[in-house]
Amino acid sequence: FVGNSTYLDDHGPPPQKVLPFPSQVVYNRVGKCGSRTVVLLLRILSEKHGFNLVTSDIHNKTRLTKNEQMELIKNISTAEQPYLFTRHVHFLNFSRFGGDQPVYINIIRDPVNRFLSNYFFRRFGDWRGEQNHMIRTPSMRQEERYLDINVCILENYPECSNPRLFYIIPYFCGQHPRCREPGEWALERAKLNVNENFLLVGILEELEDVLLLLERFLPHYFKDVLSIYKNPEHRKLGNLTVTVKKTVPSPEAIQILYQRMRYEYEFYYYVKEQFHLLKRKFGLKSRIRKPRPRPEFFIPSPLETEEPIDDEEEDDEKWLEDIYKR
């Protein structure tokens, strides 16, 4: 108090915090698609730019009941803005529960490469684990750990056939039970959500361009992200995360995987095409490779894609546990 007047009388109300637009961003990250690499960058960026990075310790629950969806949406919506929320979770429709729909971002990867990365990572970890003589999945029996990838695919082991291979689409399709069924319905719904709710879905094979576009679209969150990513100290950390003991399956095994993943590839090609259109719009060139005819589809070496540092896998892993305990 100054005399009979208050601070507000003399100065008016304190200035309100001016929020950037958008002030609510959700990165519902897909496992083994560079997500930990991006989260490491976000930790640095949140301190640098002063946004609220909201992460989750839950890594094994991607599908939620209606009540769990309501609870999570309520918790996210009440976070201090501007916020960026990140968690391994299938797409959540905020507006269905009366909330403001945030802006979504995500990154996906060639489905076979994602599968191979996960297959060997579960068995042998990465260089961080090798140095400590640690094995990634202790409960796995030795014959399972050293199961040849070609045998797994060609002899229809559960790990190398559905539902394990239908993995990326549900992150974009959402929480509806049909989102877990490989088919046109889930595929089309995933595409629709990409168009209507995602500001950007990038591809890991072109991560630097993904970061460039994120910096352009969401400067309050991603300004300077590329220079941080290219910093030698950060690159050194990334080199510790290359999955070890990777081998490339035979062309025959790849063909079978490709057939089993045909919906995943329809989605991947769709996202890649949209991403390249966006790049052209903003003057970024793509390294054009002549597309391979799809029936003779083959992948580049998995080692061409820099390995992300990744969290525990999602509950898609849980169905495998009993197999390894037999």
Confidence (pLDDT) at 238: 57
User: Which is higher by pLDDT, 130 or 212?
Assistant: 212
Mean pLDDT of 70-90: 96
Give one DSSP letter per residue of 66-90, joined into a string. Answer: HHHHHHHHHHHHTSPSSEEEE-S--
3-state secondary structure of 101: coil
Give one DSSP letter per residue of 207-261, joined into a string. Answer: HHHHHHHHHHH-HHHHTTHHHHHHSHHHHHHHHTTPBSS--PPPHHHHHHHHHHT
pLDDT digits (tens, 9 = 90+) for 228-259: 999 887 666 655 555 556 788 999 999 999 99
Between β-strands 83-86 and 103-108, what pairing exists: parallel, antiparallel or unpaired? unpaired
Q: List, in order, residues 6 or more apart from 189 with CB less than 8 Å away.
A: 173, 174, 176, 179
Confidence (pLDDT) at 233: 77
Q: How many residues does the chain have?
A: 326
Confidence (pLDDT) at 57: 84
What's the rounded Cα separation, in Å, for the pair 120 and 241? 12
Residue 317 domain flag: no
Band of residue 166 on the pLDDT scale cut at 50, 70, 90: very high
DSSP one-letter code for 167: -
Catalytically active residues are: 88
Residue 314 domain flag: no
Q: Report CA 226 to chain centroid distance, whole Å.
A: 18
Helices vs. strands in the chain: H and E counts, helices first? 16, 5
Name beta bridge partners: 200. 105
What's the rounded Cα separation, in Å, for the pair 131 and 108? 29
- Expressed as residue numbers, the domain containing 216 is 24-284
Opening angle at CA 33, ends 251 and 142, nearest 5: 60
Residue 143 corresponds to which tokens in the numbers above? Answer: 């014959």
Residue 294 domain flag: no
For the chain, the average pLDDT equals 83
Opening angle at CA 276, ends 237 and 295, nearest 5: 95
- 196, burial (CB in 10 Å: exposed 0-12, middle 13-18, buried 19+): exposed
Residue 156 domain flag: yes
Residue 311 domain flag: no
Q: Mean pLDDT highest for which of 54-58, 162-166, 238-242, 318-322? A: 54-58
Q: 166's torsion region: left (phi>0), alpha (psi -120 to 50) or beta? A: beta
Q: Tokens 């035979």, residue?
A: 250
Residue 85 domain flag: yes
What's the rounded Cα separation, in Å, for the pair 171 and 235? 28
**Residue 189, pLDDT above cutoff 50:** yes
**Residue 7, pLDDT above cutoff 60:** no
Residue 310 domain flag: no
Instruction: Tally the domains of the chain.
Output: 1
Band of residue 70 on the pLDDT scale cut at 50, 70, 90: very high
What's the rounded Cα separation, in Å, for the pair 107 and 171? 11
Q: Tokens 């990513």, residue?
A: 229
Q: What is the pTM of this model?
A: 0.82
Q: How many CA atoms within 13 Å lie on the side-chain side of 100?
A: 12
Instruction: Decide if 193 contacts 172 (C-beta within 8 A).
Output: yes
Report which secondary-structure segment, H or E, holds 25: strand 24-27
N-terminal to C-terminal alpha carbon distance within the chain: 75
| Residue 218's CATH number | 3.40.50.300
Residue 35 domain flag: yes
